[in-house]
C-alpha cells in the first residue's frame, strides 16, 4: 500500500490548482465528479469482490441465498478442492516460465535492434527501419492458422519455444527502445568509443543501464501480454499439464456449474499472481502501458 | 515518415568517427548487422513467415490433420470464402462487436480520465479500480461473468430486477449474448484506454490551465476548450487501437458463448478456428485468414494515411499563417 500512496502526491498540486476560476462552481463540479467517479470505481471492483466472497462460502449456502454477500460459515474448502482437482501448480509454473523467457528475450533482442538503428550506420538500415515500422501494422493474432502449420513443420508444438519464439520480435518494443536510446546524450557514446570500447561494451555497459525505464515498460507489457495470451497457447499446448493459467481456467467453464465456490476459487487463484504484481508495481505498470501504447 | 524519423539516428553517434563521404566504416556496418540480426531472423521467421505460409496454403486444398500441402487448387478457396454466407456472417459479428464496443470504450474512459485528473486525492484508487481488470486473464473474467449472468441467481440478473427491468437471457439469446459480452469487455478493457488518456492529460502543461482559470474559466469550460481539444491526437490513437482490438475479438466470445447461441455471435477468428482446426480445412481457413488479414491491414493503413494527410494539412496551415 505504501507504493500506491506515492503517486497521488505528484498530482495533488495539479488538481488543486486547476480548481481555480469561479471557485464555488468549481467546487460543486468537483464534488459531483468525485461522487460519480467513486461510484463507478466501486462498481468496477464488484466482480472481484463477488468472486472472492463466493469462493469463501459453502456451496449449499450459495444455492439457498445466492444474493447474500456474507456467510455464516466462511471457509477455504473451495480453495483446497480447486487446487486438488486441477493442476493449478503446473499452470503457474508454465505461465511463469513462458512469460519470463519471453520478457528476457524480447528485452535483449529488441533493445539490440534499436541500438543498431540509433547508433550504428549499416547498409540497408533504412530498409530495416521500414520493415520494422511496417511490422506495427501486422495483425499477428489473425495469423494463428499459418503460424500453427509452421510450428508443426518445425516440430515445436507443445513446447515452451512455440510460446516464446513468435512473441520475441515485437516492433512496438523496438520503437520504445529507439525513442529512449535516441534521448541518451551522444557525448557519452563518443567518449566510450574514444576510450576504445567495443560496440557490444557500449551497448551493455553504457546504454542498457540508462534504458531502465524503457526496459521496464517493455518488460511489463510483454509479461502481461504473454501471461494472458489465450488463443495461441490453446492451439499449441494441448496437454493439461503443459497449459498456462488462462487456457487451463477456460476448461472449467460449463464444467461443474453447481460448484460455484470451487470455480470462483480457481478464478481467484488464477488472478492472484498478476494482480499481486500489479498492486506492488501499480505506478510503473500504468506508466509502462502508457509508454508502449502511445508509441 | 520513415525517412524523417531516420534522419536523426543516422547522424547520431560517431559522425566524427565516420570517414568523409557519409559511408559507414566497415566495422560499424558489420556491428550494425550483428546487432540487428537476432531481431530480423525472428521477425522474418515468425512474423513474415506465417503471412507467406498463409498465402501458399490458401492456394492448396491442405488439410490440417496431415502434414503436406495437398494439391493445387488456385484461387478456388478464395472464391469459396468470398461466397460463403458463414464467413460473411462471422465478419459481420466482428464488425458488430466493434460498432458496439468502440464508442463506449473511446468516450467513457475519456470522460472518466478527465474527471479523475481533477481529483485532488485518491487518484491511485481510480487507477487501481479501473486498470486492475486489465491484468486478469480472459478466461477468469469469463468465469466470473458467467457466474454473474446465471439466470435467476446471478448478480447481474438480480441487478436488472432491482432496477425494475427484466434481465435478458444472457447466454441463451442473441441480443442477451451481445449485451453480456459487451458489458464484460467494457469492464475488462476500460482501464487500458483510461491509462492512455490519463498519461496524455498529465502531459498537458499546467500553465494553460492557470491562464484559463485566471481568465475566469470554470471547470466545464476548461475541459471543453482545453483538455478535449488537446486530447484529440490521443483520441484518434485510442480509436484506431480500439477498432483493431475489437475486430480481433476472440477470447470473450469463444469462452463465454462458444460463438453461440447457434453461431449467432461467432467472430471471424473463431470461424477460422472452426474451419481450420475442427473441420480441418486448412487451405480454406488460410484463405479466410488472408482475406481477414488484408482487411485489418487496410484499416491500419487507412488510419495512417488519414493521420498523415491531416498532419500535412496542419503543417501547411501553420506555414501559411
A20/B142 CB distance under 8 A: no
Q: How confident is the model at residue A22 (pLDDT cuts 50, 70, 90)?
A: low
Give backbone dihedrals phi and psi of B60, rounded to 5 degrees, phi first: -120, 165
Residues of chain B contacting A42 with CB distance shorter than 8 Å: 129
Q: How confident is the model at residue B319 (pLDDT cuts 50, 70, 90)?
A: low
The whole-number average pLDDT for the span B53-73 is 82
> What CA–CA distance (Å, rounded) separates B10 from A166?
29
What pLDDT, on the 0 to 100 scale, is given for residue A233? 92
- Judged against a pLDDT cut of 50, whether residue A19 lies above it is answered with no
Question: Which residues make Cβ contacts (< 8 Å) with residue B10, sequence separation at least 6?
Answer: A121, A125
A3 sits in which H/E element: helix A2-18
Dig out the grid coordinates for A78 from the structure: 473451495
A224/B135 CB distance under 8 A: yes
Q: Which chain B residues in 37-56 lie under 8 Å from chain A, judged by CB atoms? A: 38-40, 42-43, 45-47, 49-51, 53-54
Residues of chain A contacting B51 with CB distance shorter than 8 Å: 138, 143, 146
Q: Which chain A residues in 92-111 lie under 8 Å from chain B, judged by CB atoms? A: 108-110
Which of B13, B122, B190 is facing A186, going by the closest CB pair?
B13
Q: Which chain A residues in 199-218 lie under 8 Å from chain B, judged by CB atoms? A: 199-200, 203
In a mutagenesis test of the A interface, which of B51, B158, B161, B219 is the best target, namely the one with the most A β-carbons within 10 Å?
B219
Q: List the domains of chain B with CATH numbers.
A: 86-292 (1.10.3720.10)
Grid cell 557490444 — which residue?
Answer: A200
> What CA–CA distance (Å, rounded) separates A54 from A253?
16
What pLDDT, on the 0 to 100 scale, is given for residue A294? 55
Q: What is the tens place of the pLDDT at every residue in B150-200?
A: 887 888 888 888 888 887 888 888 888 999 999 999 999 999 999 889 888
- Judged against a pLDDT cut of 50, whether residue A129 lies above it is answered with yes
In a mutagenesis test of the B interface, which of A112, A286, A288, A295 is the best target, namely the one with the most B β-carbons within 10 Å?
A286
What pLDDT, on the 0 to 100 scale, is given for residue A140? 84
Which of A25, A143, A193 is facing B17, going by the closest CB pair?
A193
CB contacts < 8 A (A, B)? 392
The more confident residue out of A191 and B319 is A191
What pLDDT, on the 0 to 100 scale, is given for residue A13? 41
Residues of chain A contacting B31 with CB distance shorter than 8 Å: 116, 120, 122, 199-200
SS3 A1: coil
- Judged against a pLDDT cut of 60, whether residue A137 lies above it is answered with yes
The whole-number average pLDDT for the span A131-158 is 88
Distance from CA of A243 to the nearest CA of B (A): 13
In a mutagenesis test of the A interface, which of B13, B221, B279 is the best target, namely the one with the most A β-carbons within 10 Å?
B13
What pLDDT, on the 0 to 100 scale, is given for residue B161? 85
SS3 B137: coil
What pLDDT, on the 0 to 100 scale, is given for residue B291? 93
- Compute the mean pLDDT over every residue in chain A, rounded to the nearest whole number: 83
What pLDDT, on the 0 to 100 scale, is given for residue A258? 65
> What CA–CA distance (Å, rounded) separates B66 from B60?
13
- Judged against a pLDDT cut of 50, whether residue A221 lies above it is answered with yes
- Judged against a pLDDT cut of 70, whether residue A255 lies above it is answered with no
The more confident residue out of A1 and B321 is B321
What pLDDT, on the 0 to 100 scale, is given for residue B298? 92
Q: Long-range contacts made by residues A37-43, C-beta under 8 angstroms, separation at least 24? A: A37/B112, A37/B115, A37/B116, A37/B119, A37/B126, A40/B112, A41/B125, A41/B126, A41/B129, A41/B130, A42/B129
Residues of chain A contacting B147 with CB distance shorter than 8 Å: 50-51, 54, 260, 263-264
Contact at 8 Å (CB) between B285 and B275?
yes
- Judged against a pLDDT cut of 60, whether residue A217 lies above it is answered with yes
DSSP letters spanning A79-114? HHHHHHHS-HHHHHHHHHHHHHHHHHHHHHHHHHHH
Q: How confident is the model at residue A123 (pLDDT cuts 50, 70, 90)?
A: confident
Q: How confident is the model at residue B21 (pLDDT cuts 50, 70, 90)?
A: very low
Question: Which residues make Cβ contacts (< 8 Å) with residue B179, sequence separation at least 6?
Answer: B168, B170
Which of B1, B29, B143 is facing A249, going by the closest CB pair?
B143
B129/A41 CB distance under 8 A: yes
A145/B154 CB distance under 8 A: no
Q: Which chain A residues in 50-69 lie under 8 Å from chain B, judged by CB atoms? A: 50-51, 54, 63, 66-67
SS3 content of chain B, % helix, strand, coil (to 5): 75, 0, 25
A113/B36 CB distance under 8 A: yes
Cis bond before residue A145 (omega within 30° of 0):
no
- Judged against a pLDDT cut of 70, whether residue B23 lies above it is answered with no
Grid cell 427491468 — which residue?
Answer: B165
Q: What is the tens place of the pLDDT at every residue in A56-100?
A: 888 878 877 777 777 777 888 888 888 888 888 899 999 999 999
SS3 content of chain A, % helix, strand, coil (to 5): 80, 0, 20
Residue ranges of the domains in chain A?
A: 15-82, 87-251
Q: What is the tens place of the pLDDT at every residue in B99-135?
A: 999 999 999 999 999 888 888 777 888 888 998 999 8
Residues of chain B contacting A228 with CB distance shorter than 8 Å: 135-138
Q: How confident is the model at residue B308 (pLDDT cuts 50, 70, 90)?
A: confident
What pLDDT, on the 0 to 100 scale, is given for residue A293? 62
Cis bond before residue B253 (omega within 30° of 0):
no
Residues of chain B contacting A119 with CB distance shorter than 8 Å: 9, 12-14
CATH, domain A87-251, list 1.10.3720.10, 1.10.3470.10, 3.40.50.2300, 1.10.3860.10: 1.10.3720.10
What pLDDT, on the 0 to 100 scale, is given for residue B9? 36
> What CA–CA distance (Å, rounded) separates B303 from B237?
9
B35/A21 CB distance under 8 A: no
Q: State percent of chain B over pLDDT 70.
A: 91
- Compute the mean pLDDT over every residue in chain B, rounded to the nearest whole number: 84
A41/B137 CB distance under 8 A: no
B112/A8 CB distance under 8 A: no
> What CA–CA distance (Å, rounded) separates B125 from B128?
5
The whole-number average pLDDT for the span A140-147 is 88
Burial readout B100-110 (b: 16 or more C-beta within 10 A, e: otherwise): bbbebbbeebb
A40/B43 CB distance under 8 A: no
Largest CA distance in chain A: 78
Nearest Cα residue in chain A from B148: A47
Grid cell 459487451 — which residue?
Answer: B182
The whole-number average pLDDT for the span B224-249 is 88
The whole-number average pLDDT for the span B311-320 is 78
Amino acid at each position: 500500500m505504501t507504493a500506491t500512496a506515492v503517486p497521488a502526491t505528484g498530482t495533488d498540486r495539479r488538481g488543486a490548482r486547476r480548481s481555480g476560476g469561479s471557485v464555488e462552481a468549481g467546487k460543486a463540479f468537483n464534488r459531483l465528479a468525485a461522487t460519480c467517479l467513486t461510484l463507478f470505481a466501486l462498481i468496477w471492483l464488484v466482480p472481484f469482490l463477488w468472486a472472492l466472497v463466493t469462493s469463501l462460502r459453502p456451496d449449499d449456502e450459495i444455492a439457498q441465498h445466492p444474493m447474500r454477500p456474507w456467510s455464516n460459515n466462511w471457509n477455504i474448502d473451495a480453495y483446497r478442492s480447486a487446487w486438488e482437482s486441477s493442476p493449478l501448480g503446473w499452470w503457474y509454473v508454465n505461465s511463469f516460465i513462458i512469460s519470463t523467457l519471453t520478457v528476457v528475450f524480447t528485452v535483449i533482442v529488441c533493445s539490440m535492434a534499436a541500438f543498431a538503428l540509433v547508433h550504428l550506420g549499416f547498409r540497408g538500415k533504412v530498409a530495416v527501419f521500414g520493415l520494422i515500422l511496417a511490422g506495427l501494422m501486422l495483425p499477428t493474432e489473425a495469423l494463428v492458422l499459418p503460424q500453427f502449420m509452421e510450428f508443426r513443420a518445425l516440430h515445436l508444438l507443445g513446447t515452451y519455444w512455440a510460446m516464446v519464439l513468435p512473441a520475441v520480435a515485437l516492433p512496438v518494443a523496438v520503437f520504445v527502445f529507439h525513442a529512449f536510446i535516441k534521448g541518451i546524450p551522444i557525448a557519452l557514446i563518443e567518449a566510450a568509443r574514444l576510450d576504445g570500447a567495443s560496440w557490444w561494451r557500449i551497448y551493455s555497459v553504457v546504454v542498457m543501464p540508462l534504458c531502465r525505464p524503457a526496459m521496464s515498460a517493455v518488460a511489463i507489457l510483454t509479461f502481461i501480454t504473454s501471461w494472458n495470451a489465450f488463443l495461441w497457447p490453446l492451439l499449441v499446448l494441448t496437454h493439461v499439464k503443459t497449459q498456462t493459467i488462462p487456457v487451463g481456467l477456460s476448461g472449467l467453464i460449463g464444467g461443474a456449474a453447481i460448484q460455484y465456490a470451487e470455480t470462483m476459487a480457481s478464478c481467484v487463484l488464477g488472478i492472484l499472481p498478476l494482480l499481486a504484481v500489479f498492486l506492488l508495481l501499480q505506478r510503473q505498470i500504468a506508466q509502462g502501458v502508457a509508454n508502449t501504447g502511445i508509441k | 515518415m520513415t525517412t524523417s524519423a531516420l534522419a536523426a539516428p543516422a547522424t547520431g553517434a560517431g559522425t566524427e568517427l565516420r570517414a568523409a563521404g557519409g559511408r559507414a566504416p566497415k566495422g560499424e556496418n558489420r556491428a550494425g548487422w550483428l546487432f540487428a540480426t537476432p531481431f530480423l531472423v525472428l521477425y522474418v521467421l515468425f512474423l513474415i513467415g506465417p503471412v507467406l505460409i498463409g498465402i501458399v496454403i490458401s492456394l492448396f486444398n491442405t488439410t490440417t490433420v496431415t502434414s503436406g500441402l495437398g494439391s493445387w487448387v488456385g484461387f478456388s478457396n478464395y472464391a469459396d470464402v468470398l461466397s460463403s454466407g458463414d464467413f460473411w456472417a462471422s465478419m459481420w459479428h466482428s464488425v458488430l462487436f466493434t460498432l458496439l464496443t468502440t464508442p463506449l470504450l473511446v468516450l467513457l474512459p475519456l470522460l472518466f480520465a478527465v474527471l479523475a485528473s481533477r481529483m485532488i486525492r485518491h487518484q491511485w484508487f481510480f487507477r487501481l479500480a479501473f486498470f486492475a481488470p486489465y491484468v486478469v486473464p480472459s478466461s477468469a473474467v469469463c468465469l466470473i461473468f458467467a457466474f454473474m449472468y446465471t439466470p435467476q441467481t446471478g448478480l447481474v440478473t438480480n441487478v436488472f430486477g432491482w432496477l425494475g427491468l427484466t434481465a435478458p437471457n444472457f447466454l441463451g439469446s442473441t441480443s442477451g449474448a451481445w449485451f453480456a459480452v459487451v458489458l464484460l469487455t467494457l469492464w475488462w478493457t476500460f482501464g487500458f484506454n483510461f491509462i492512455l488518456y490519463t498519461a496524455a492529460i498529465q502531459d498537458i502543461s499546467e500553465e494553460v490551465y492557470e491562464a484559463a482559470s485566471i481568465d475566469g474559466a470554470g471547470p466545464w469550460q476548461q475541459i471543453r476548450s482545453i483538455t478535449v481539444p488537446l486530447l484529440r491526437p490521443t483520441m484518434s490513437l485510442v480509436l484506431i487501437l480500439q477498432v483493431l482490438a475489437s475486430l480481433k475479438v476472440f477470447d470473450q466470445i469463444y469462452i463465454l458463448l462458444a460463438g453461440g447461441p447457434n453461431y449467432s455471435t461467432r467472430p471471424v477468428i473463431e470461424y477460422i478456428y472452426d474451419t481450420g482446426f475442427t473441420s480441418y480445412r486448412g487451405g480454406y481457413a488460410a484463405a479466410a485468414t488472408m482475406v481477414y488479414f488484408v482487411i485489418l491491414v487496410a484499416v491500419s493503413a487507412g488510419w495512417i494515411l488519414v493521420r498523415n494527410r491531416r498532419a500535412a494539412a496542419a503543417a501547411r496551415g501553420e506555414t501559411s499563417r
